Amino acid sequence: MFIRLIPKNYLNVCLLLLAILTVTAQTLLAEDTALTNEEVLMAVVINQQPQGIVFILRRNDRLFAEAKDLRRWRLNLSDSTPVTLDGEDFYELDALVGLSYEFDELSQVLTIQVQPSLFDATELQGVVTDFRNPTLSPPGGFLNYDVSANHEQGRAMSNGLLELGGFSGWGVGQTRILARDILGDTSAIRLDTTLTRDLPMQMASMRFGDAISGASSWGGAVRLGGLQWATNFSIQPGFISFPLPGISGEVAMPSTVDLYVDDVLRMSHEVPSGPFSIQDLPVTNGQGDARLVVRDMLGREQV
């Protein structure tokens, strides 16, 4: 039995088929979009070190990690471009040079191998100068004296050097006086009076009063008075005013770094995975034999 369709019926059938195809396409597109951006909870292991459980974005069988997690793992992201999703930055793991990974679907474990150069560098100080501002001194004072006397054939001679000083949290003031008594002729001479204030954190000293200039090959020292502001390294005893050598290396997993100078252990530090450098090696004159021993968690050593 044949049914004859008039042109109007053809049009209605076509419109019905078009509507069905549109709904089907929208449904498939929605399902595909939902599968494209899928957050999966994974246990992450980096260089055999567990890093906890985090959400990993999976898009078309590609894996993306959130920027905050990668920074927490100390990975260098300066040469990578992020993908922004819902206001958060993600980085594709395949795009990170020096990184490889394996994902176990059954156990939901993401195992990542990272070359040491991809980690952020760690800087260590060989000479630690943890200098803190000293506590201010309470007020006080002092007296120093040096007295001598001589009596011979009815003649008496005596002289003395007196130093009187006072101090507080602001500074130190002192004066020196030379007193003499020769055959009844008594005299006193003020030698110098100085007020000194040290600023340890700035490694500077301020002096007001008398001073003695330094001697030179073309002239002797002279006494003078005035105000002086000068750098003073001596008020920070641990400060080293000359450059010290440094050394660097890299480790694939957390290790212990031991530094020997002339076969004497001078420092030992725990370092995380990645490059590291030790600045200001603890050597006194820039000479000596320095040896760096790196020991990983398995006890393997590299010299």
pLDDT at 26: 52
pLDDT at 16: 56
pLDDT at 28: 46
pLDDT in tens, the chain (303 residues): 444 444 555 555 555 555 555 545 455 444 444 446 777 788 888 888 888 888 888 877 788 888 888 888 888 877 777 777 777 788 888 888 888 888 888 888 888 888 888 888 887 776 666 677 778 888 999 999 998 888 777 777 888 999 999 988 888 999 999 988 877 778 888 888 999 998 888 888 898 988 777 777 777 777 778 888 888 888 887 777 777 777 778 877 788 888 777 777 877 878 888 888 887 776 655 566 777 788 777 667 766
Q: For each of the domains in the chain, give its residue range(s) and CATH number, in order of start.
A: 38-115 (3.10.20.410), 124-129+240-302 (2.60.40.3110), 140-235 (no CATH)
Please write down the HEC assignment for all residues of 241-257.
CCCCCCEEEEECCCEEE
**Alpha carbons 234 and 162: distance in angstroms, whole number:** 26
Quick check: 64 and 57 in contact, CB under 8 A? yes
pLDDT at 130: 67
Residues 6+ apart with CB under 8 A from 41: 53, 54, 55, 56, 108
Residue 81 has which token pair?
Answer: 């471009």
224: enclosing H helix or E strand: strand 223-231
Q: What is the pTM of this model?
A: 0.52
pLDDT at 288: 64
Q: Give the single-character DSSP code of 126.
A: S
The CA dihedral of 127, 133, 135, 138, to the nearest 10 degrees, is 120
Q: Give the single-character DSSP code of 117.
A: G
Read off the amino acid at residue 130.
Answer: D
Read off the amino acid at residue 299.
Answer: G
Read off the amino acid at residue 176.
Answer: R
Closest C-alpha among 164, 112, 114, 168 to residue 137: 168
Question: In which residue are the tokens 């500074």 written?
Answer: 171
